[in-house]
């Protein structure tokens, strides 16, 4: 078996594995159905080495010459559309169509051209250079340019340079006097092996990008309250921990406020749980708008919410909480009117976030006891928790 034949068989197998892998990912992850696009790209690409294997033994080589060339081009361009769809951006259909039409015109123009002649080989490879460069551009334009995404884009750039170098390799080593002779040439071995290695590397990077996106989404879902869209208790604790580490390093204050919707049970009993859910969402939206941008906001469960104010002392937190209380009392959104109460506490250097939140909870209970629709502040002194004074705003 000639080395090029072996390389073609390997390329078919690798492309098939990628097509199957992306299809399985798309099938098992409903939020990542766009991975089917990657699967289709590799499935189409499989036709190229398959056509080149069948071409020498066929009595009619022209159809395989067409499928070899255009399946590879279609696979690359399908990948460009799939990448855009993966990132929920419009596919560059104009560029895709322009490259495909240019490829068809060039291939028709050089159909009977002299093989291994540099202008012929440059014209043959030019559309593949353009398609690979388009992949690099689409990935950089649509992604957030995380390390893996940049690495994948760079790999597509290397693939483009690789196609640009191929004409010179064909001229140096010879690609066979005809398409039938290609499979036995040294150039075929170099071409199949190098293209296979580079596209395997690009495929692995795109596979990692896809898996990373799934993991990131799963982590986000595990840290997000589905009703309010805010962080849940787990997410709040994780984000708050990072804030506390930064604050400790910079020796800056951090404060916490715990909010509760007043008479929430009465809202549910009077208007129904669906309306109660809308009130939860309404308060969540209000907190997003009224809280400082750097604040960590979370729904702790039921009608209880928590905010962590970075670089904010207790008085600053009280003023922020008071602004939120007034907004809840005065805002008209079509929901049943509601008010909120809150307890505020500074996070002392010698205590955990949990301890500070317990003091804020005590302040919240005091606000409820004193009639609701108010803010109470837990005094930050060195005394034990059950001796804390509660200051009413």
Looking at residue 53, its pLDDT comes to 80
Q: How far is Cα 263 from Cα 260, in angstroms, rounded to an integer?
A: 9
Give one DSSP letter per residue of 117-137, joined into a string. Answer: -HHHHHHHHHHHHHHHHHHHH
> Residue 220's pLDDT is what?
83
Residue 389: CB atoms within 10 Å: 11
State residue 380's pLDDT score.
Answer: 56
Are 3-222 and 233-392 in the same CATH fold? no
- 23 phi, psi to nearest 5 deg: -65, -40
Measured in whole angstroms, the distance separating CA 280 from the mean position of its chain's CA atoms is 28
CATH 3.30.70.270 fits 233-392, yes or no: yes
Residue keyed to tokens 């750039």: 157
pTM for the predicted model, two decimal places: 0.75
Task: Please check whether residue 29 is in contact with residue 35, taking contact to mean a CB–CB distance below 8 angstroms.
Answer: yes
Q: Is 303 a catalytic residue?
A: yes
Structural domain spans, the chain: 3-222, 233-392
Residues 6+ apart with CB under 8 A from 327: 286, 290
Q: Which of 303, 310, 315, 329 is catalytic?
A: 303
> CA 54 to CA 59: how far, in whole Å?
10
Quote the distance between the C-alpha of residue 200 and its chain's center: 22
> Do 151 and 158 touch, CB atoms closer than 8 A?
no
CA distance 363 to 371: 13
CATH, range 3-222: 1.20.1070
pLDDT of 197 reads 93
**Residue length, the chain?**
393
Q: What is the pLDDT of residue 190?
A: 87
Tens place of pLDDT per residue across the chain (393 aa): 466 788 888 989 999 999 999 999 999 998 899 999 999 999 999 999 888 888 777 777 788 889 999 999 999 999 999 999 999 999 999 999 999 999 999 999 998 888 888 999 999 999 999 999 999 999 999 999 999 999 999 999 999 999 999 999 888 888 766 666 676 778 888 888 899 999 999 999 999 999 999 998 888 888 899 999 999 999 999 999 999 999 999 999 999 999 999 999 999 999 999 999 999 999 999 999 999 999 999 999 999 999 999 999 999 999 999 999 999 999 877 889 999 999 999 999 888 999 999 999 999 999 999 999 999 999 754 343 343 344 444
Q: What share of the chain is helix, strand, coil (3-state, %, to 5)?
A: 70, 10, 20
Residue 200: what pLDDT?
94
pLDDT at 181: 67
């Amino acid at each position: 078996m000639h080395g090029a034949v072996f390389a073609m068989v390997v390329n078919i197998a690798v492309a098939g594995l990628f097509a199957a892998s992306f299809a399985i990912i798309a099938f098992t992850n409903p939020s990542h159905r766009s991975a089917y696009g990657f699967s289709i790209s590799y499935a189409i690409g499989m036709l190229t080495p398959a056509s080149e294997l069948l071409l020498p033994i066929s009595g009619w080589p022209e159809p395989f010459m067409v499928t070899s060339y255009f399946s590879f081009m279609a696979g690359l361009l399908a990948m460009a559309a799939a990448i855009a769809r993966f990132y929920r951006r419009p596919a560059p259909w104009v560029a895709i169509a322009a490259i495909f039409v240019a490829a068809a015109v060039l291939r028709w123009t050089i159909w009977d051209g002299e093989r291994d002649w540099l202008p012929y080989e440059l014209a043959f490879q030019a559309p593949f250079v353009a398609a690979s460069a388009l992949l690099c551009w689409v990935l950089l334009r649509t992604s957030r340019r995380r390390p893996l995404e940049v690495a994948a884009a760079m790999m597509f750039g290397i693939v483009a340079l690789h196609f640009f170098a191929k004409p010179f390799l064909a001229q140096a080593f010879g690609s066979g006097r005809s398409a039938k002779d290609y499979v036995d040439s040294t150039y075929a071995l170099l071409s199949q092996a190098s293209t296979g290695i580079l596209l395997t590397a690009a495929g692995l990077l795109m596979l990692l990008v896809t898996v990373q996106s799934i993991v990131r989404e799963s982590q986000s879902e595990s840290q997000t309250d589905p009703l309010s869209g805010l962080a849940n208790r787990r997410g709040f604790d994780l984000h708050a921990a990072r804030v506390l580490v930064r604050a400790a390093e910079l020796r800056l204050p951090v404060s916490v406020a715990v909010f509760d919707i007043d008479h929430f049970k009465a809202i549910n009993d009077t208007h129904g749980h669906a309306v109660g859910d809308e009130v939860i969402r309404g308060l969540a939206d209000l907190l997003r708008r009224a809280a400082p941008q750097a604040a960590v906001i979370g729904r702790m469960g039921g009608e209880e919410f928590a905010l962590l104010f970075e670089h904010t002392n207790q008085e600053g937190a009280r003023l922020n909480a008071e602004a939120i209380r007034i907004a809840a009392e005065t805002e008209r959104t079509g929901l049943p009117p509601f008010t909120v109460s809150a307890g505020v506490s500074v996070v002392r250097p010698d205590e955990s976030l949990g301890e500070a939140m317990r003091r804020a909870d005590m302040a919240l209970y005091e606000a409820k006891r004193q009639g609701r629709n108010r803010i109470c502040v837990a005094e930050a002194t060195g005394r034990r928790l059950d001796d804390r004074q509660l200051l009413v705003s």
